[in-house]
Every structure is written in C-alpha cells, then in structure tokens.
Amino acid sequence: METKGKVLAIDLGEKRIGLAISDATRLIAAAHSVMQRKSRREDYARYGRLIEEQHITLLVMGLPIPLHGIEGERAAWVRDYTAELQEHIPIPVVFWDESLSTKQAEASLFERGRQGRRMRDQVDAVAAAVFLQEFLDVQRADTQGDDSNE
C-alpha cells in the first residue's frame, strides 16, 4: 500500500457522511466536513471531486464492527456501498473499525464546549478524524517496525 499522500476517511451514516483528511505526510488527521447523504451517484461524484481537489491517494472507510466482533446488517450495507464506490474513484479503499469513534468525538466536542446543534453539526467529521488518526498511527507504527527489522 502506498504510504505517501493525503488520506480521506469516510464515516458513513444513513443521513450524514463525516469526512476527515490527513496531511500529505500522513501524520495528522483533521475533520473536514459533514455532507448530507443524497443518492449514491451524487455522493460518489462529491467524493470524486474532493479526491481530485485534495490530491487524495487512499480512502479509509469506517466499518461499524460491534463489540462482539460479528459484522451485522450495517456493516454489510457499508461494504455494499463501498464496493459500488470503488467503481467510481481512482484510488484504493481500505476498511477500518470505526467502533466508538462517535462516542470519542462527542466527548471531545463536549470538552471543547460544543453542545446541542453545534455538536451534531460536527460530530460525524470529528468521528472520521478519530478513526483516521488511529489508522495513521497504526500504519506508522507498522512501517517503523518494518524498518527496524532491516
């Protein structure tokens, strides 16, 4: 897998889609925006524009895995959506467990004084940034581990 270039994370919900983007060195994830879901076709077109504008080289799709570890209907829906999405974008896609990212995002926003609508308007993008940062940290640790074995 390519290890350079910006990464886009998607926290896919039934009504809203949270987006986060890393820096080009893949060190830091930042909340980008929240999109209202429309049709799949419109969603895919918006991702395509963002991928092109931001020079994204990898997409990380949040996968809702329950604490018991067995994927359910929601994970199947995300996998189906993503399989179709891959036909419309020119970059690789990986899945990442997004369990508890919304709770972590809500806690972070609450600590910063965001409540009510101000929290709801941002929570999906912050949740995407939470699991994207975890993904980046694990990838960096794996890469550094590989380097130490040489």
10-residue block means of pLDDT along the chain (150 residues)? 86 94 96 94 96 97 87 94 96 90 68 61 84 93 64
Q: Is residue 148 in a domain?
A: no
pLDDT confidence of residue 147: 52
Identify whether the C-beta of residue 53 lies closer than 8 Å to the C-beta of residue 45: no
User: Among candidates 4, 7, 2, 48, which has minimal Cα distance to 133?
Assistant: 7
Q: How many domains does the chain have?
A: 1
Q: Is residue 139 in a domain?
A: yes
Q: Is residue 149 in a domain?
A: no
User: Among candidates 63, 46, 32, 85, which has minimal Cα distance to 131?
Assistant: 63
Q: Is residue 79 in a domain?
A: yes
Side-chain-facing half-sphere of 14: CA atoms under 13 Å: 3
Give dist(CA 127, CA 58) in Å, integer: 18
Identify whether the C-beta of residue 57 lies closer than 8 Å to the C-beta of residue 2: yes
pLDDT confidence of residue 60: 97
What CATH number should be reported for the domain holding residue 31? 3.30.420.140
Q: Is residue 48 in a domain?
A: yes
Give dist(CA 137, CA 83) in Å, integer: 26
pLDDT confidence of residue 113: 63
pLDDT confidence of residue 112: 66
b (16+ CB within 10 A) / e for 21-49:
bbeeebeebebbebbeeeeeeebbeebbe
